[in-house]
Structure 1
Amino acid sequence: MNAGRLRGRSLRTRLLLLITAILVTVCAAMALTTVFAQRAYLLGNLDDRVTNAAERSLGGASLHPDLTGDLTFLNESGHPAGMLAARLDTDGTILAAATVGQDAPPRNLTAAQTAALSGIGTDGSYHTRTVPGLGTYRVTGLAGDGVRVLTGLPMGDVQDMISGLVAIEAVVAALGLTAAGCVCAVVIRRQLRPLGRVAATAVEVSRAPLCRGEVTALTRVPERDTDPGSEAGQVGAALNRMIDHVESSLAERQRGEERVRRSEERMRRFLADASHELRTPLASISGYAELMNRGTDRIEPGMAWRRVTAESARMTGLVEDLLLLARLDEGRPLQSAEVDLASLVAEAVWDARAAGDGHDWQLELCLDTAPLVLGDEARLHQVVANLLANARVHTPAGTRVVAAVEAREGLGTIRVRDDGPGIPPDLLPSVFERFTRADASRARADQSTGSGLGLAIVAAITAAHGGRIDVRSEPGRTEFTVELPLTGETGADTLTWSARASMR
């Protein structure tokens, strides 16, 4: 089987084929080694017997050195059956040759049989010759005292033993290879089961609809197949880590898509609300201008001019709020200076009293030192003013509004609370989003409720100063909390504050 076809098969098949090939090679090498060793041993034993027989034949022939064709020594007892002997002349030519029979007198060899023994010297070396009609012989020649003999013994027993050994080894090897192949197949199958389960998990994960961005629980490799002590366990553990990365990436992508979708929705809503808020004063200005063009009998010029001025101011304020939010979104730096929160909140409360004297305005300063923060005083004043304006606009007359300032643990805290009706629960999660209003209708009868940007500006300015804002509301108590990091330094004079002032 060539390498290309082998690579196209499964790992289990390749391992089984390779192990089988190795076992066949090892068995063949062992069998050949055994056969050659056994053959060498048997041939050595046979050569010893051939040498003994040749020495005996030489001794018997030496009794009649003059009789060059004399083979009477073969009549002596003790010669093995099938032994052949020959007398040679000085040129190595066979003069007489005979073979010992079983319970029979020696029988002379034929010319063909004699010719098969020609060319063998008397130097004591061993030769293997096939004698027609007699079989294969191990032959050697010796010389002494002018006598030269040739002696050989049949190799049939050795060949039969070698053949039997080869047959036995072949049968044993076949049975052993069959058993070993079966055992290897079972062992390989069992050992590769974890890898198969890992592969099945990988296939299942590859079929998951990952392109649709659905974050689903992807299949994991079982814990038993993630043992780092084995190669399959290492692959399983690596696959689980990869699946974790894939799931986290999918979850992050889904969160990103969700953020983009929400951002797009907010942007569409923002543009729609901004367009509406700008269109309303523009429509009013356009309407009054049209009435003025038709003549003064339709509308008093002074009233028309006042309305145009009011709508223009309203539109200007909205545009300024939008520009402020845009600058804060871009992360433009604000002015930075030390700001005394206590003085800032006190001024904002006085301004709120002037704008809405129908409320009960309270100021609480619970301080040991002057709370100094680093920031833009005008923007921080806008934060407090917007919170107070929100309380004034959305609560009835007579509502108590308390503005408190605290300083502890490195934070300056501003709290604005009122005992009004509270914020609707369904509106509370989005109260700091842009264009969020208690009255979601675009055609609001009361335009004094604002554009819904006040609290969004509060949240943006607070975040730009490194602070945080929170709100808690229930019927009878609504509290906004603004926390800003203090500078860590007090004012020039150490003050002790503990005041509660009524500003109704």
Structure 2
Amino acid sequence: MTEAPRTARAPWSIRRRVVLGVVALVAVVGILIGTVSVFALRQNLLQRLDSQVQEVMRFVTSGPGGGSVPGGSDNLRSGLVIVVDVDGADPAGVVYDGPGPGTALTDEQIEQALAAPKNQVSTITIPGLGTYRMEVHRASNGVAAVGMSTSEVDTTTWTLVGIFALVTAGALLLAALGAVALTRVALRPLGRVTETAARVTELQLASGDVAIPERVPTAEADPRTEVGQVGAAINRMLGHVESALVARQHSEEKVRRFVADASHELRTPLASIRGYAELTRRIDDDLPVDAIRSLDRIESESIRMTALVEDLLELARLDEGQGLVFGEVELVRIVTDAVGDAYAAAPDHDWEVVAPEPPLTVEGDQARLHQVVVNLLANAHRHTPEGTAVTVTLAEAGDDVVLTVADDGPGIDPELQPILFERFARGDTSRSRATGSTGLGLAIVAAVVDAHHGEIRVESRPGDTRFTVRLPRRRVLAD
């Protein structure tokens, strides 16, 4: 039989541990003090009771004129038992409930009293009377037994136990309240350290922020205290992270600058290569077949490299926030024109537009938004077989406009979806190369959408792939 997995117990907070620790310590101390005090008091009371038993025993065994009843015959202690067993006579016993004549004991009670250890005070239970401290002493003419009830000692003991229980309960309550208050004050600096860490987690460190202005306050970063050591360590860590982010930014800026410069410089020689290839093919003299094939490859590769260079240059501009010209953009017309161009380029697909009546405008860069639609349509065409239905939907959603490009193709590999909008991400490298893809189309889409403060996401399964772009109707100004 398989054993059910155990549920992990929730960890205790420091405050809870401190409060429970203090309460447990006070409880242990209170119980220890109460136990010792009650035990000491009971022993003291029993010793006094034993002294009274021994004193009465001396009076009983001294015979007539040999002693006097302690306190006088009219002040006999309540619960006093005296048993006398004279040789040659039946034993007799009396229990006193106060001043005056006592009550005779039964034979069973007398027998139990005389059964106590000789010549020492011990505790016995007499039927019908309760617990007694009893001493049995043999005299010259018989045996005498004297005992006193422990009821008053027991009552005093249990009263003291109750008092200690109430005092301990009150002390536990005060200790709990005090521990909560003290931990709240003691952990307040740690709370400020946590708040600082929480504010740092809200910074957009992955999207370009390199300055980390948040630091643990100096009062909570004093290394002479435990919380201060944590605060100081966090401040050092934030300093190291900020230095690493600055270094990362400088490195990325160098890479972007290199890509932009290289792309810009490559445009002219690539245009020359393409031009000379076209010019050579137009020569009147007949060229060998191999030469014509080579020129065709040179021209096609130059076109592909030019597209790659243009895409890299476009990304570099978007990374630097350059080239965006904001204005009123009518999306219905852009989508309609882009779908018309896609149908002309790929009539083997079923293209459909679902959009409200124009105008449906947003504030953005018209050329870049047109590029977003074109790239999404090209992606749907490039990675789906003939006969695939591609539906482009425009809809209003409050202050946003939602653009959806859906197809019923084979879908996107789940392993590829998390990196789909990264640069040079390709599901099928060989096919993408054959169809002229640079692996940058969706990266440009994501960069343009991000520059418009929108968002893009993809949901894909076999038979249903959806790219959803959400754009704000009005331009979002940076803080």
TM-score w.r.t. length of structure 2: 0.51
Shift of 1:149: 0.8
Decide whether the 8 Å contact of 2:216 with 2:234 is kept in 1: yes
- SS of the aligned residue for 1:57 comes to helix
- Which amino acid in the other structure matches residue 41 of structure 1? N
Tell me the alpha carbon deviations over residues 393-426 of structure 1, each in whole angstroms, 9 at most, x when there is no partner.
xxxxxxxxxxxxxxxxxxxxxxxxxxxxxxxxxx
User: Partner residue of 2:176?
Assistant: 181
Decide whether the 8 Å contact of 1:121 with 1:141 is kept in 2: yes
Shift of 1:78: 5.6
- Which amino acid in the other structure matches residue 52 of structure 2? R
Decide whether the 8 Å contact of 2:77 with 2:99 is kept in 1: no
1:107 lines up with 2:103 in the alignment: yes
User: Partner residue of 2:232?
Assistant: 237
- Which amino acid in the other structure matches residue 60 of structure 1? G
1:253 lines up with 2:256 in the alignment: no
Distance 2:197 2:151 in 1: 65
Decide whether the 8 Å contact of 2:42 with 2:153 is kept in 1: yes
Distance 2:145 2:46 in 1: 18
Decide whether the 8 Å contact of 1:228 with 1:234 is kept in 2: yes
Q: What is the aligned-residue RMSD (CA, Å)?
A: 3.5
Q: Out of 4, 14, 17, which is 1:14 matched to?
A: 17
**Compared CA separation, residues 273 and 203, structure 1 to 2 (3 A):** same
Tell me the alpha carbon deviations over residues 365-406 of structure 1, each in whole angstroms, 9 at most, x when there is no partner.
xxxxxxxxxxxxxxxxxxxxxxxxxxxxxxxxxxxxxxxxxx
Q: Which has more radius of gyration?
A: 1
User: Partner residue of 1:209?
Assistant: 204
User: Partner residue of 1:169?
Assistant: 164
Shift of 1:118: 4.7
Distance 1:75 1:185 in 2: 60
Shift of 1:99: 1.7
- SS of the aligned residue for 1:221 comes to coil
User: Partner residue of 1:129?
Assistant: 125
1:38 lines up with 2:66 in the alignment: no
Tell me the alpha carbon deviations over residues 446-495 of structure 1, each in whole angstroms, 9 at most, x when there is no partner.
xxxxxxxxxxxxxxxxxxxxxxxxxxxxxxxxxxxxxxxxxxxxxxxxxx
Q: Out of 134, 140, 144, which is 1:139 matched to?
A: 134
User: Partner residue of 2:333?
Assistant: none
Distance 2:98 2:80 in 1: 10
Decide whether the 8 Å contact of 2:83 with 2:113 is kept in 1: no
- SS of the aligned residue for 1:139 comes to strand
Shift of 1:192: 0.9
User: Partner residue of 2:62?
Assistant: 59
1:86 lines up with 2:83 in the alignment: yes
Tell me the alpha carbon deviations over residues 298-349 of structure 1, each in whole angstroms, 9 at most, x when there is no partner.
xxxxxxxxxxxxxxxxxxxxxxxxxxxxxxxxxxxxxxxxxxxxxxxxxxxx
Q: Out of 89, 94, 101, which is 1:98 matched to?
A: 94
- SS of the aligned residue for 1:80 comes to coil
Gaps of 5+ in 2: 1-6, 286-479
Distance 2:60 2:206 in 1: 98
Shift of 1:32: 0.7
1:49 lines up with 2:52 in the alignment: yes
Decide whether the 8 Å contact of 2:75 with 2:99 is kept in 1: no
Tell me the alpha carbon deviations over residues 264-304 of structure 1, each in whole angstroms, 9 at most, x when there is no partner.
2222234346668x879x97xx99xx99x9xxxxxxxxxxx
Shift of 1:159: 1.6
Decide whether the 8 Å contact of 1:38 with 1:162 is kept in 2: yes
Distance 1:188 1:74 in 2: 60
- After TM superposition, the structure 1 = structure 2 runs for residues 66-77 of structure 1, keeping only pairs within 5 Å, are 76=73
- SS of the aligned residue for 1:117 comes to helix
- After TM superposition, the structure 1 = structure 2 runs for residues 66-465 of structure 1, keeping only pairs within 5 Å, are 76=73, 79-88=76-85, 95-132=91-128, 134-272=129-267
**Compared CA separation, residues 246 and 130, structure 1 to 2 (3 A):** farther
Q: Out of 27, 31, 40, which is 1:28 matched to?
A: 31
Shift of 1:74: 13
Gaps of 5+ in 1: 64-71, 294-504
TM-score w.r.t. length of structure 1: 0.48
Distance 1:47 1:41 in 2: 10
Distance 2:171 2:80 in 1: 41
Tell me the alpha carbon deviations over residues 219-247 of structure 1, each in whole angstroms, 9 at most, x when there is no partner.
22222111112111111111111111111
Q: Which has the higher contact order (CA 8 A, sep 6+)?
A: 1
- Share of identical aligned residues, percent? 29
Distance 1:5 1:274 in 2: 66
Shift of 1:112: 4.4
Shift of 1:183: 1.0
Distance 2:39 2:201 in 1: 58
Shift of 1:147: 3.1
- SS of the aligned residue for 1:105 comes to coil
- Which amino acid in the other structure matches residue 238 of structure 2? I
Shift of 1:130: 4.4
Shift of 1:35: 0.6
- Which amino acid in the other structure matches residue 38 of structure 2? V
Shift of 1:23: 1.2
Distance 2:82 2:167 in 1: 41
Shift of 1:146: 4.3
Distance 2:224 2:84 in 1: 78
- Which amino acid in the other structure matches residue 267 of structure 1? A
Distance 1:235 1:224 in 2: 12
**Compared CA separation, residues 82 and 8, structure 1 to 2 (3 A):** same
Shift of 1:131: 4.3
Shift of 1:90: 7.8
Distance 1:218 1:131 in 2: 86
Decide whether the 8 Å contact of 2:121 with 2:133 is kept in 1: no
Tell me the alpha carbon deviations over residues 246-267 of structure 1, each in whole angstroms, 9 at most, x when there is no partner.
1111111111101111112222
Shift of 1:136: 2.7
- SS of the aligned residue for 1:205 comes to helix
User: Aligned residues, how many?
Assistant: 273
